[in-house]
């Protein structure tokens, strides 16, 4: 569209007037506001900015992925915790799975025989020393001391574990099953200690005050004796092995074997020589020629 221009008019007083400029219109702006859009051609279409929208399926896939990941994490954590608890439960069960020694039942049998023989609890030793040495009370005292000595390892184990278990329980660092197993073992040992003391007073009044001290002394003596016997047996076995590997004896055996081999070789050579001398006599051909 051609642009229209007009000349300015000069007034006599020196002023001038400029004619108004006609507004330009664009195609497609008929009856519309200016600046609403720009024409794209003869049809008067407008460029419009396209808004890119995310597919809802993407949000759905992301949500499913998060749910699956959380489920796998929870399942892994639960299985790991179950395995750990099972391991510690088995360990705790073995650790505090204590049983009374066989000497307890043996003592009960000896007591039954003593009562059948006329022994009465709390009567003390008999008047005659000979009868006391061979009577049922003597056998009953020996059986009780044997029972007490057999209980020493179990008692010392519980005493050793007591401080640590109480500290773990106070700090909530042990499982319920572990604590209950420990309590059951501790109650069993405490009951056994009290029963031994009661039996000691029935056999001899006042013996309960010293029986556990005596049992500990005997236990340590027996332990030392067993260690010495084991050490002596190990030393004897070591000497036996060294004796078998003694270089002097080994050299003698080699010398004897060499002499035996040499004798056999000499005997074989002599035998071969005798065979040759007897099979083909010297001068046999010469004697034939003389004839």
The predicted-structure confidence for 106-157, as pLDDT tens digits, reads as follows 999 999 999 888 888 877 665 555 555 667 888 999 999 999 999 999 999 9
Work out the angle at residue 107's Cα, subtended by the Cα atoms of residues 103 and 111, and round it to the nearest 5 degrees: 175
Tell me which of 278 and 66 has the higher pLDDT.
66
More confident residue, 284 or 76: 76
CA angle 212, 215, 220 (to 5 degrees): 130
Cβ neighbours of residue 184 closer than 8 Å, sequence gap 6 or more: 96
**Contact predicate 141/204, CB 8 Å:** yes
**pTM metric for this prediction:** 0.51
pLDDT for 291 equals 43
Share of the chain above pLDDT 70, in %: 62
Which of 165, 207, 218, 205 lies closest to 189 in space, CA to CA? Answer: 165
Instruction: State the average pLDDT over residues 175-184.
Output: 89
- Rounded to the nearest integer, the mean pLDDT of the chain is 75
In 3-state terms, what secondary structure has residue 9?
strand
Q: What is the mean pLDDT of residues 59-69?
A: 85
């Amino acid at each position: 569209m051609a642009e229209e221009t007009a000349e300015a008019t000069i007034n006599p007083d020196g002023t001038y007037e400029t004619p108004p400029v006609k507004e330009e219109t664009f195609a497609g702006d008929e009856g519309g506001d200016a600046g609403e859009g720009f024409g794209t051609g003869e049809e008067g279409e407008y460029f419009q900015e396209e808004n890119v929208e995310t597919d809802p399926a993407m949000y759905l896939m992301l949500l499913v992925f998060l749910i699956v990941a959380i489920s796998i994490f929870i399942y892994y954590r639960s299985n790991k915790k179950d395995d750990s608890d099972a391991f510690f439960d088995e360990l705790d069960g073995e650790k505090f799975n204590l049983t009374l020694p066989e000497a307890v039942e043996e003592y009960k049998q000896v007591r039954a025989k003593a009562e059948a023989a006329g022994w009465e609890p709390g009567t003390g030793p008999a008047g005659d020393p000979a009868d006391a040495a061979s009577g049922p009370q003597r056998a009953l005292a020996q059986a009780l001391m044997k029972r007490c000595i057999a209980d020493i390892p179990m008692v010392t184990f519980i005493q050793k574990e007591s401080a640590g278990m109480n500290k773990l329980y106070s700090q909530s660092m042990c499982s319920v099953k572990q604590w209950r197993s420990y309590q059951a073992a501790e109650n069993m040992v405490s009951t056994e200690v009290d029963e031994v003391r009661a039996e000691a007073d029935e056999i001899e009044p006042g013996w309960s005050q010293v029986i556990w001290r005596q049992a500990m002394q005997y236990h340590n003596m027996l332990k030392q004796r067993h260690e010495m016997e084991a050490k002596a047996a190990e030393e004897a076995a070591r000497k036996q092995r060294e004796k078998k590997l003694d270089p002097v004896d080994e050299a003698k055996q080699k010398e004897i074997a060499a002499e035996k081999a040499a004798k056999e070789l000499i005997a074989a050579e002599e035998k071969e020589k005798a065979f040759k001398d007897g099979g083909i006599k010297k001068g046999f051909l010469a004697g034939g020629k003389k004839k």
